């Protein structure tokens, strides 16, 4: 068993990626029944968000979820991690962290519905293939390839992971993307299951957007971003997957960062996604083929870009802030407070001993730092891409 689990670490190098794909917007014509839309909101930044009846969301079109019972909230939280709502009633509204731009008008979808961004639905090609072909011993680029600077943490029996990521809007070139995210993974070969969450920027949006992703067969035929296909079940009526994040926002006098948590509900096996103290929704175990029907064996945090090698040279798409980790706090992008959840889903522990890996350190790099009281387990990552030291 240990040998099987350790093989995932080798394979992880091949699927730390974000290929050209949808921004998570669901096409009204194919995924949404017009009669399911209870309200439409247009933000000042041009986003169109449909408030969809929670029981008529795309997730329930998945054949394995035909008889699924909607779970509105987790049955329990890991010890010490019960989220505090950033939208708590009775609080000072000026203290709300309005980390998505459509929040600024103070309008949200009504309870009993979920927000789905539909304004850019037709502008994003869906991801069809994995950017790498690989076997047990080889990794071969196939077409546009991903590059990354990330830290991985192998083990067994993981019930989740968490971390804080600061938000940037790096330069991206045509048909390319840049992302910072968390992965929770298990399985082998074509049965690799993974769930992912973070932010991404592409030339289609020119804004950082919140995303989640999943696959149940190593990215071969299953999975999608956000609500782009049936699978992820959303319960939150105030947070829109695929909506613009606001890097200019501040929290406690600091540049905006988001706290991301993915954790398993041991009562039913649902994998919950939580951001900024808000449970957004979950991946039911029924959509997976193997590994994530149970617990995870590999956790990863980091940045990635798609490099299409325009004109035969390395792309100038930036990762993170577009600055190298050596430039430090204030310039370089970071992940901090990295933790994992183990021991029956109850114990939260520091992810000490994470292993850094960078595909091309001259283009994008990562520096894991010593634990400290402010940032705990943390690292800096990123880079500008094409430069005098990053040619191809």
How is residue 91 written in tokens?
């609080």
Q: What is the 3-state secondary structure (H, E, C) of 295-363?
A: CEEEEEEEEEEEECCHHHCCCCCCECCCCCHHHCCCCCEEEEEEEEEECCCCEEEECCCCEEEECCCCC
Catalytic residue among 147, 176, 196, 300: 196
| Residue 196 bears catalytic tag | yes
Residues ≥6 apart with Cβ < 8 Å to 226: 22, 23, 24, 25, 26, 117, 211, 212, 213, 232, 241, 242
How is residue 268 written in tokens?
């039913």
Give the end-to-end CA distance of the chain in Å, rounded to a whole number. Answer: 39
Catalytic residue among 304, 327, 347, 376: 304
Distance CA 243, CA 205 (A): 10
Alpha carbons within 13 angstroms on the beta-carbon side of residue 47 total 29
How is residue 158 written in tokens?
């993981």
Catalytic annotation, residues: 196, 304
């Amino acid at each position: 068993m240990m040998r099987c689990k350790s093989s995932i670490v080798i394979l992880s190098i091949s699927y730390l990626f974000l290929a050209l794909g949808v921004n998570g917007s669901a096409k009204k014509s194919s995924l949404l029944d017009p009669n399911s839309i209870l309200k439409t909101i247009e933000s000042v930044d041009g986003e169109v968000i449909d408030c969809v009846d929670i029981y008529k969301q795309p997730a329930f079109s998945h054949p394995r979820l035909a008889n699924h019972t909607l779970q509105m909230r987790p049955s329990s939280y890991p010890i010490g991690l019960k989220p505090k709502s950033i939208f708590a009633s009775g609080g000072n509204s000026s203290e709300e962290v309005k980390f998505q731009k459509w929040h600024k008008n103070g309008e949200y979808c009504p309870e009993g519905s979920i927000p789905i961004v539909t304004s850019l639905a037709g502008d994003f090609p869906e991801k069809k293939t994995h950017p790498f072909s690989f076997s047990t011993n080889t990794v071969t680029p196939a077409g546009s390839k991903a590059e990354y600077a990330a830290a991985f943490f192998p083990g067994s029996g993981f019930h989740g992971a968490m971390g804080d990521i600061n938000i940037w809007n790096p330069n991206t070139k045509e048909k390319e993307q840049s992302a910072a995210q968390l992965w929770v993974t298990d399985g082998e070969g074509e049965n690799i299951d993974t769930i992912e969450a973070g932010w991404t920027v592409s030339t289609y949006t020119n804004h950082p957007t919140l995303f989640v992703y999943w696959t149940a067969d190593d990215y071969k035929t299953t999975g999608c971003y956000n609500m782009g296909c049936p699978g992820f079940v959303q319960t939150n009526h105030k947070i829109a997957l695929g909506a613009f994040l606001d890097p200019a926002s501040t929290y406690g006098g600091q540049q905006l960062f988001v706290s991301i948590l993915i954790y398993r509900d041991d009562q039913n096996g649902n994998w919950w996604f939580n951001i900024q103290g808000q449970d957004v929704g979950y991946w039911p175990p029924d959509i997976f083929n193997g590994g994530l029907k149970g617990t995870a064996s590999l956790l990863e945090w980091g940045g990635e870009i798609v490099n299409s090698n325009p004109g035969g040279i390395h792309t100038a798409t930036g990762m993170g802030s577009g600055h190298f980790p050596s430039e430090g706090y204030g310039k370089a992008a970071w992940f901090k407070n990295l933790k994992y959840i183990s021991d029956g889903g109850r114990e939260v522990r520091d992810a000490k001993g994470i292993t850094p890996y960078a595909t091309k350190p001259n283009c994008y790099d990562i520096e894991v730092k010593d634990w400290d009281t402010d940032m705990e387990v943390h690292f800096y990552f990123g880079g500008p891409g094409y430069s005098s030291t990053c040619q191809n």
